[in-house]
Amino acid sequence: MSASLQGLRIVVSAGPTYEDIDPVRFIGNRSSGKMGFAVAQAAAQRGAQVVLVAGPVSLPTPAGVQRIDVRSAAQMHEAVLAQLPADVYIGAAAVADFAPAQAASNKIKKTAGQDTLTLTLVRTRDILADIATHAQRPRLVVGFAAETDHVEAYARGKLENKRLDLIAANRVGVAGSGFESDDNTLTVYAADGLAQALGPAPKTALADALLELVAARMPT
């Protein structure tokens, strides 16, 4: 029997963000959105009222889920915070950490003899940290951490620094998991010492296992 999330309002972010350089170019990242969409679907199947804030992905909207499409990190920040109050926030999006200070209004042209192009990027706002420290903080805030190395140390650092309740870490840059793949392996950490390995398994199964942890840890 899977625990019900009936009556809970859950906001999920998913996918990459695209940061425009000019009208024809952007800076993006390798996120398919599959994990976040699977989380939204699994939450809806458990009876939650789900809002999915999605970056640019080519995935169908899960049944019973309200979807809001955004493009940039700034748009995702605004869309997610506009969904408060909520009971749970699950930040599965791969949000750009830096974006061009300003998108050029016309296509940037190269000039004869030009060998390099320097772009100045500025930090984006941290959606997850802003949600976790918000006056209307959801009762449970869950982050993801994509790491190539020192997975537990970096993930626990994010858990603490961003004031999260749970963080689901995955190792990226290894074959057969992470980006684009249908399968993944997660380890979920909490401040009380929890280190729960999930998978390797399809992202749909991982999403459901993650929601079982969410249901179990929901403050009453």
Give the interface with ligand CTP as residue ranges (CB under 6 A). 73, 91, 93, 95, 97, 124, 126-128, 143-146, 158
By C-beta, is 115 or 149 nearer to ligand CTP?
149
Q: Which two tokens stand for residue 36?
A: 């976040």
Beta bridge partners of 188: 168, 196
Residue nearest to Ca ion (CB): 97
Whole-angstrom Cα distance, residue 174 to residue 164?
A: 26
By a kind-dependent CB cut-off of 5 to 8 A, residue 21 interacts, out of ligand CTP, Ca ion, none, with none
**Residue number with CB closer to ligand CTP (126 or 208):** 126
C-alpha 52/C-alpha 69 separation (Å) is 8
Q: Could you tell which of ligand CTP, Ca ion, none binds residue 158, using a CB distance below 5 to 8 A set by kind?
A: ligand CTP
Instruction: Please say which residue, 8 or 93, places its beta carbon nearer to ligand CTP.
Output: 93
Partner from ligand CTP, Ca ion, none binding residue 93, C-beta < 5-8 Å depending on class: ligand CTP
Please state the separation of Cα 23 from the chain's center in Å.
26
- Is 29 one of the catalytic residues? yes
| From 29, 161, 170, 184, active-site residue | 29
Smallest gap from residue 41 Cβ to Ca ion (A): 24
Query: How near is the Cβ of 116 to ligand CTP at its closest, in Å?
Result: 25
- Using the minimum distance from each CB to Ca ion, give the nearer residue, 3 or 27: 27
Residue closer to ligand CTP, measured from CB, 46 or 158? 158
Closest separation between CB of residue 17 and ligand CTP, Å?
Answer: 8
Q: Report the residue count for the chain.
A: 220
Q: Please enumerate, as own/partner, the contacts of 200-205 that have beta carbons within 8 Å and a separation of 24 or more.
A: 200/176, 203/34, 203/35, 203/38, 204/38, 204/41, 204/42
Measured CA to CA, the distance from residue 136 to residue 87 in angstroms comes to 10
- What is the nearest approach in angstroms of ligand CTP to the Cβ of residue 107? 27
Q: Is 152 in the site for Ca ion (CB under 5 A)?
A: no
In the complex, the smallest distance separating the C-beta of residue 123 from ligand CTP, rounded to whole angstroms, is: 8
Provide the binding-site residues for Ca ion, judged by CB under 5 A.
97
Catalytic positions, please? 29
